[in-house]
């Protein structure tokens, strides 16, 4: 699954560590999410979307549906 | 060969070196000296160990060389530093083990400190705050206060635990054993056992805290932890076989205990590598 996390994070001027702190997860998690190695759980996906005031589908993009 | 396979193999080899050295130094320097003196092991076994160690060094070195050339990460040269860390840690261990007549496994402490410190220095995030993939190879993020505290506490717990483990498991802490009568020495024995158990539970608690950091870490390490347990049991069984086959009377309960921790650590590191080195879709 692709996501806009790196772009959104940079637009807010956050480091991966800072974003991790905002989300209450580890920096490793943010790194894995950004690299597309890990798909978040639904609660975490909602948390991320809410943090950026966006819908989940605006942050995460399921390639198969394209 | 895929990068993650090479990286896993090189780390496995690196760990085997550590295991081999622990065993090697443990038998040469440790309390098992008396056993070895009474054995006629023959030239084959005398040659086997240094040759095995040499082989491990060569394979681990080759793995690191291949990784440096493979371009798994853009920061070339980082593998060389990682390799230097690994081998530096091992050298430290030899020096430490030679120094400490009974501190066979205490070398884990300077090694852990070395790796943790360099992890923070060498693999720190870029100016934009982006961590390198390699930063995730070593368990724990020293820039995260939560994780850093867990690691520091683990290190603190490890010091008395290793010491007490060597006393309790080798049963050499006092000249008496339980059941010899209620004397001061026996109280010391009981205190050492309690201390060993307390520090053991402390370490397990810290592991639990790390495991529960978040969902990603849980997913990455759940399998290896279970596998570590299974491997530890197999190792204990194999260990007895190895003792018989190589006539290595010196293999103590302490060594078996230590190898359990080391194997679990190795599996967790391999898990982290798999998590990091997998190519993004």
Render A40-62 in DSSP notation, one character per residue: PPHHHHHHHHHHTT--HHHHEE-
Instruction: Return the higher-pLDDT residue of B60 and A63.
Output: A63
* Cα B220 to Cα A3: distance, rounded to the nearest angstrom: 21
- Partnered with residue A61 across adjacent β-strands are A2
Q: B170 phi and psi, to 5 degrees?
A: -95, -5
Quick one: pLDDT at residue B29?
38
Quick one: pLDDT at residue A50?
94
Burial state string for B34-64 with b = 16 or more CB within 10 A and e = fewer than 16: ebeeeeeeeeeeeeebeeebeebbebbbebb
Instruction: Give the pair of three-digit tokens for residue B60.
Output: 């681990």
Using CB atoms, which residue from B144, B219, B275 is nearest to A27?
Answer: B144
Shortest Cα–Cα distance, A1 to chain B (Å): 8
Say which range, B25-29, B81-85, B179-183, has the weakest mean pLDDT.
B25-29
Query: Is there a contact between A32 and B136 if contact means CB atoms under 8 Å apart?
Result: yes
Quick one: pLDDT at residue B267?
64
**Confidence category of residue B152, pLDDT binned at 50, 70, 90:** confident
Quick one: pLDDT at residue B40?
46
Q: Is the pLDDT of residue B119 over 70?
A: no
Quick one: pLDDT at residue B42?
46
Quick one: pLDDT at residue B26?
47
Quick one: pLDDT at residue B30?
40
**Confidence category of residue B177, pLDDT binned at 50, 70, 90:** low
The helix (H) or strand (E) run that includes residue A6 is helix A5-11
Crossing angle of helices A42-51 and A16-23, rounded to 10°: 110
Q: Which residue of B has its CA nearest to A17?
A: B129
pTM above 0.90, yes or no: no
The answer to whether A27 faces chain B, any CB pair under 8 Å, is yes
**Confidence category of residue B23, pLDDT binned at 50, 70, 90:** low
Share of chain B above pLDDT 90, in %: 1
Q: Is the pLDDT of residue B73 over 80?
A: no
Residues A50-57 have a mean pLDDT of 92
Quick one: pLDDT at residue A44?
93
Residues B258-264 have a mean pLDDT of 66
Q: Is the pLDDT of residue B150 over 60?
A: yes
User: CA nearest B273: which of B70, B13, B7?
Assistant: B7
Quick one: pLDDT at residue A53?
92
* Cα B251 to Cα B191: distance, rounded to the nearest angstrom: 25
**Confidence category of residue B18, pLDDT binned at 50, 70, 90:** low
The answer to whether A13 faces chain B, any CB pair under 8 Å, is no
**Could you give the ipTM of this predicted complex?**
0.85
* Average pLDDT of every residue of chain B: 61
* Cα B243 to Cα B111: distance, rounded to the nearest angstrom: 28
The answer to whether A46 faces chain B, any CB pair under 8 Å, is no
Q: Is the pLDDT of residue B98 over 60?
A: no
Reported as a single tens digit per residue, the pLDDT across A3-51 is: 889 999 989 988 888 899 899 998 888 888 888 878 899 999 999 999 9
Q: What's the burial of B252, exposed, middle or buried (CB within 10 Å: 0-12/13-18/19+)?
A: buried
Quick one: pLDDT at residue B79?
52
Instruction: Return the higher-pLDDT residue of B245 and B146.
Output: B146
Q: Which residue of B has its CA nearest to A35?
A: B280
Cβ-based contacts of B216 with chain A (< 8 Å): 25-26, 28-29, 32-33, 38
Using CB atoms, which residue from B128, B213, B280 is nearest to A36?
Answer: B280
The answer to whether A63 faces chain B, any CB pair under 8 Å, is yes
Cβ-based contacts of B280 with chain A (< 8 Å): 35-37
Instruction: Return the higher-pLDDT residue of B14 and B262.
Output: B262
């Amino acid at each position: 699954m692709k996501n806009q996390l790196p772009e959104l994070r940079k637009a807010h001027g956050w480091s991966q560590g800072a974003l991790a702190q905002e989300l209450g997860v580890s920096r490793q998690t943010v790194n894995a999410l950004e690299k597309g190695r890990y798909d978040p759980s639904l609660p975490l996906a909602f948390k991320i979307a809410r943090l950026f005031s966006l819908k989940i589908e605006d942050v995460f993009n399921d390639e198969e549906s394209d | 060969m895929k990068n993650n396979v090479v990286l896993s193999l090189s780390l496995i080899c690196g760990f085997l070196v550590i295991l081999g050295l622990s065993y090697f130094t443990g038998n040469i320097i440790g309390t098992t000296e008396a056993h070895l003196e009474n054995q006629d092991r023959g030239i084959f076994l005398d040659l086997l160990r240094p040759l095995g160690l040499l082989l491990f060094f060569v394979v681990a070195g080759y793995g690191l060389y291949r990784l440096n050339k493979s371009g798994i990460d853009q920061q070339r040269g980082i593998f060389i530093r990682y390799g230097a860390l690994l081998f530096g840690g091992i050298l430290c261990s030899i020096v430490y083990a030679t120094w400490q007549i009974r501190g066979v496994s205490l070398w884990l402490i300077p090694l852990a400190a070395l790796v943790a410190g360099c992890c923070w220095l060498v693999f720190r995030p870029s100016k934009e705050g982006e961590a390198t993939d390699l930063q995730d190879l070593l368990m724990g993020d020293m820039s995260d206060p939560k994780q850093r505290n867990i690691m520091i506490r683990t290190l603190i717990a490890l010091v008395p635990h290793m010491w007490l483990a060597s006393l309790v498991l080798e049963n050499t802490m006092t000249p008496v054993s339980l059941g010899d009568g209620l004397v001061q020495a026996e109280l010391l024995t009981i205190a050492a056992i309690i201390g060993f158990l307390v520090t053991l539970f402390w370490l397990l608690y810290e592991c639990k805290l790390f495991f529960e950091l978040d969902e990603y870490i849980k997913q990455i390490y759940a399998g290896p932890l279970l596998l570590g347990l299974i491997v530890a049991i197999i190792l204990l069984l194999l260990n007895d076989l190895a003792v018989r086959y190589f006539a290595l009377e010196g293999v103590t309960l302490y060594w078996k205990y230590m190898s359990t921790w080391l194997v679990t650590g190795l599996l967790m590191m391999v898990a982290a590598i798999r998590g990091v080195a997998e190519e993004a879709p």
